Amino acid sequence: MKLAFILDPLGHLKTAKDSSLAIMHEALSRGHQVFVSLQHDLFLRHGQAKLVTKPWTFNGSMSVVGESQESLPTAFDALIMRKDPPFDNEYLYSTYLLEIAANQGAKVYNSPSAMRNWNEKLSVTRFIDLAPASLVTANNSLLREFLQEQQDIVVKPLDGMGGSSVFRLNTKDPNLGVILETITDFGRRTIMAQRYLPEILQGDKRIIMIDGEPLPYALARIPMAGETRGNLAAGGTGVAQDLSKRDLSIAHTVGPVLKQAGLFFVGLDVIGEYLTEINVTSPTGMVEIAQQTDCRPAAVFMNALERQT
């Protein structure tokens, strides 16, 4: 197969833990051809989608890329979108271009329209029985009311990743006003508030879903001392764990809906008994699970992709 990966610049990827690189290595080991692109290498010319790619391989510990070439997206057996958020206007435009490519015959993972429609924070409201109490608003008064109801909450932007700009608030927080003003941009930016879940201390579990099915292990991201966030990017420690009965119940409830929507590779975030986020852009955790268990997530991904193509 010929596979094209749309990524952040290769120099920004962390070789020791990047899931995209793990998939690319697995693809190479199976004899597939791997090509890499940046977000803006996808473009339209006279209504026809085009993609500039470079062939990619690995030599020892070094990535090796060849010369740029312009192709139709349909020249590849799969286009795999792995650009990290934030989900800003440029990311939005990329989903439009990828959707045009898909309509012209390209196979794109994940579905561009689904990535656009399944906001990683808001999507949990599709499964309200699985999610903690929440509020989505830009209104500071409503946020204060919600805090009074719940007593302890987390507020976060709708377009972030890696725990950026996530705050825990309680009713006695002396910085409550300035935090709400800042995160909502004085009532001009919509955010999500959720009831704080103390089970975060046991880990914010990442459940990797591939073609609607969960891996048998979750990566519990345990906050470092004094932190509320378990995200690895915020200093959390990743510990692989067997899925609990509740984890499996959540995964088997959400999985068929994800598959129907065209969401092939997804990361569910679960704290305690609750689904808190559905990551559809560039979920991670593969490398840590592979290092700590007998599971090989990149191989599971490629097995599923080979069945699709």
Helix H or strand E encompassing 103:
helix 89-103
Q: Tell me the CA distances in angstroms from 4 to 33, 65, 161, 265, one per residue in order.
A: 9, 13, 24, 16
| 26 carries an active-site annotation | no
- Number of Cβ atoms within 10 Å of the Cβ of 29: 12
| 245 carries an active-site annotation | no
| 206 carries an active-site annotation | yes
Helix H or strand E encompassing 54:
strand 48-59
Q: Which of 110, 119, 231, 279 is catalytic?
A: 279
Q: Which of 156, 205, 247, 288 is catalytic?
A: 156
d(CA 123, CA 113): 14
- Number of Cβ atoms within 10 Å of the Cβ of 95: 21
| 121 carries an active-site annotation | yes
Q: Which of 82, 195, 205, 229 is catalytic?
A: 229
| 277 carries an active-site annotation | yes
Q: Which of 18, 120, 159, 269 is catalytic?
A: 269
Contact between 155 and 169 (Cβ < 8 Å):
yes
User: What phi-psi label fits residue 205: left (phi over 0), alpha (psi between -120 and 50 degrees) or beta?
Assistant: beta
Q: Which residues pair with 108 in a beta bridge?
A: 79
Nearest to 247 by CA among 199, 296, 292: 199
Where do runs of H (alpha helix) occur along 171-270? 176-183, 245-261
Q: Which of 54, 82, 205, 206 is catalytic?
A: 206
Q: Which of 204, 247, 277, 288 is catalytic?
A: 277
Q: Which of 54, 82, 83, 121 is catalytic?
A: 121
| 279 carries an active-site annotation | yes
Q: Which of 54, 195, 205, 221 is catalytic?
A: 221
Enumerate the active-site residues.
121, 156, 206, 221, 229, 269, 277, 279
